[in-house]
Structure 1
Amino acid sequence: MKNIRERKIQLFQQKNKDKARLLISCPDQPGIVAAVSKFLYEHGANILQSDQYSEDPEGGGLFFMRIEFTLPNLIGQEEKLEKDFEPIGKQFKMDWRFAYAYHIKKMAIFVSKQDHCLMELLWQWQAGDLVTDIALVISNHPDLGPTVEQFGIPFYHIPVTKETKREAEQKQLKLLEEYNIDVSVLARYMQILSPEFVAQQPLRIINIHHSFLPAFIGARPYERAYERGVKIIGATSHYVTDDLDEGPIIEQDVQRVSHSHTAEDLKRIGRSVERSVLARAVVWHLEDRIIPYKNKTVVFN
């Protein structure tokens, strides 16, 4: 199974060996698109997709841009490409970065007992729709170990109690460092991460909250939604920050419900929404489609 996983990564890398993305945020001003397009043309790149967003089209706001391009024999040219771009970045006061698609991001998945979000990610990875290396799965319960290992992915059971939380997080962080993890996904991981843990992966932890935030923050949102008599339920995927369930939102979706649905019905319907919302958010992160700013995100999808 490990060989299957390795071959999948090699296939992803080969398919994307000449592809890269350029993400930009800067003060809005004339000439940005022209300067970037000219730069890529002069370096022999072919633009596949270009997306822009201006926070304030009348001027004075921020400008965001994502360009996906191919460049023959890209591997080995990265340092020169970035050095050559520096004058443009300084000219327009840009916050910018190149992301190389052949760098397959390493992912850690955190899960508790519920498997619906985990399985959606594993199925999409198996189908080739989730271009990542799922390096390991960490859980505070042993239940899903056999399922994960069927995919050839290491599974680590690290119990968490109030008394052992600090020690457990240290073990988890050591694993993330050992596997050189780029992004962690909380696939219904029913634990609140400490500020110390979050600080180790700023804007690189993606959570799924089983509510349409900002409504019903915290625990038992479906029960509270039922008690409130809501007519829609939803799910929210967001980056994790020190403020519980208040990090920058990446994706949301809803499903209509009625007075005839019980709290258990809401949970069942909600699981379907959760799995699709989380999967989309993870794909967009892996494809470098998200630019966080303030406590919001620009998502080019």
Structure 2
Amino acid sequence: MLSQRTIKNKITCSGVGLHTGKKVKLTFHPAEPNTGILFRRIDGDKVVDIPATAKNVGETTLSTTLVYGDYKISTIEHLLSALAGTGVDNCIIDCDGPEIPIMDGSSTQFVFLIQTAGIVEQNAVKKFVYVTKSVQVQRDDAVARIKPYDGFRVTFTLEFDHPVYNKYPHSASIDFSQTSFIREVSRARTFGLMDDLEKLKKMNLALGANLNNAIGIGDEDVLNEGGLRFADEFVKHKILDAIGDLYLLGHNLIGEFFGFKTGHSLNNQLLRKIESENAYKIIEIDEIKDAPINYLKPLIEEAI
């Protein structure tokens, strides 16, 4: 049986929010089958549950933010990408602040935490979002599109009018039935122009940004010691973001995503259109050999 997954043990981490600059602690808990990914704000007078769903996204300025009443949890996309990439279906995440910590700017430290906690299979069949027809949203020349595909493939093209970006690949296409999220995408860091940093800080954004958690782009080259982790790190980070945003559909996706200059806002519009047009169905896959995605094997070979 191709089973749903959760983590075996509770695990905790802490870090600084990219935009708030505030320290925050996360605690990951195992969850029952069919729970999905559930965030909980635990720093108020009461515990507030915010399921990771497209309809709960209330803000998309430079990150994806879940909103429930007066409570927010922002910059969720890197963590969701790690959960999607490791095939974790069910997890409860306690957060004592308004933003997920940025860690090193990629998903790799979240992947490490998930692996350290242990991935365990559950006595429930894994569910997938199976795309049944093409859906597209567009704003000016930016496009986000999904279409049927027997597997999970993400293709992205970015376009920035800057000499440093022009030194590196603008496009990438990854078929996750042929390779793994951990190998190809998880280490790709967020990035930005250093000239924009002071402008963002005046807007109370990027208050926690530095060269330890983001790629800084100067006038002529990348400013981080050691440069890029791989030549197409910019576009692969956009793929990482898209995978995290797509996981707000509630399950791993069977389909092909195409993005051109898209970001969190357009990605969320696409998800809402997929749902409103019923362009998908929820399916179960019984046999591991029929899985359309190359998953990390569970580190704990047992079912609960």
Scaled by the length of structure 1, what TM-score is found? Answer: 0.24
By relative contact order (CA 8 Å, sep 6+), the higher-ranking structure is 2
Length-normalised TM-score, structure 2:
0.24
Greater C-alpha Rg:
1
